[in-house]
Amino acid sequence: MSVSIKSAREIELMRESGKILGKVYKEIANEIKPGISTYTIDKIGEEIIRSYGCIPEEKGYEGYPAAFCVSVNDQVVHGIPSKDKILKDGDIVSLDTVLSYKGYMADAARTYGVGEISKEAQKLIEVTKQSFFEGIKFAKEGCHLHEISNAIADYNESFGFGVLRDLCGHGIGTNMHEDPQIPNFRQEHRGIRLYEGMTLAIEPMVTAGDWRVNFLDDGWTVETRDHSLSAHYENTVLVTKEGPEILTLEN
Ligand code: MF3
Ligand code: CO
């Protein structure tokens, strides 16, 4: 395993691509309402990404057909946008996209409520997001990877939620997926030591029920086995000596 340490110049480029991705989410969030198809969300999202001179990196990645993954309700991740999938009041929808700017990748995911959603769904979305913030407290030079994983797992599980074990976060840079893998469930081994200049995509994928999932025959969609709701929250994060710098926030 080799984990890349970004130079000062590379960190600047990661900051630039991350900042753009934050803006993309700020814009696309306004489109999430009952009646829109997941296909249209993807199309609008792709246009926004291109409007910043960026490349939508998911499109064509291992044959993936769209710029965004759009996963509804019991779909956890990698939902393929479709004209037939129309959002309705009470749904929750997870968007996940990767863009590059001057060759440097930014990866982030958000889960949105559509119209009025249940208290349970709202709680799931909030806890998933907060678990990311619990995890990144340890995205700091000298910490070890398991501290991130364990903090994410413990926070979600304290609410009775499940965390996926089949999919992980990852390093990111000029490649979408770099070492290390970043599990969201409890680790027996402490994993690698973290150093300033590592850039990590940390992404809890959380279920309101059991953590087990099915991988569908379309080759992409991941859904909960018990059909409980699922949420996803992800940012690209720079490890520093002082702590995490989140690169992909909306502002
Ligand atoms: N963005 C996803 C991740 O968080 C990767 C999606 S796979 C793709 O790592 F094919 F859709 F790009
Ligand atoms: Co990712």
Atom of ligand 1 nearest to the CA of 107: 1
SS3 118: coil
Torsion of CA 244, 104, 101, 18, to 10 degrees: -10
Model confidence pLDDT, tens digit, residues 216-231: 999 999 999 999 999 9
- Structural contact between residues 232 and 185, judged by C-beta atoms closer than 8 angstroms: no
Residue 87's pLDDT is 99
Query: Ligand 1, from 62, 166, 176: best to mutate by most atoms within 8 Å of Cβ?
Result: 176
Residue 38's pLDDT is 99
- Span 71-79, mean pLDDT? 98
- Span 97-123, mean pLDDT? 98
| CA of 64 relative to ligand 1 center, distance in Å | 9
Residue 1's pLDDT is 75
- Structural contact between residues 251 and 108, judged by C-beta atoms closer than 8 angstroms: no
91 lines ligand 1 (CB under 6 A): no
The 10 Å Cβ neighbour count of residue 135 is 28
Residue 149's pLDDT is 98
98 lines ligand 1 (CB under 6 A): yes
Closest listed ligand to the CA of 80: 1
Residue 39's pLDDT is 99
Q: C-alpha angle 97/82/72, rounded to 5°?
A: 65
58 lines ligand 1 (CB under 6 A): yes
On whether the pTM is more than 0.85, the answer is yes
Model confidence band, residue 81 (pLDDT cutoffs 50, 70, 90): very high
Residue 251's pLDDT is 86
| CA of 181 relative to ligand 1 center, distance in Å | 14
As a whole number of Å, the CA-based R_g of the chain is 17
Euclidean distance between CA atoms 98 and 83, whole angstroms: 22
Phi, psi of 157 (to 5 degrees): -70, -25
Share of the chain above pLDDT 70, in %: 100
| CA of 177 relative to ligand 1 center, distance in Å | 9
Query: Ligand 1, from 69, 111, 222, 232: best to mutate by most atoms within 8 Å of Cβ?
Result: 69
- Span 149-176, mean pLDDT? 98
Closest listed ligand to the CA of 202: 2
- Rounded mean pLDDT of the chain? 98
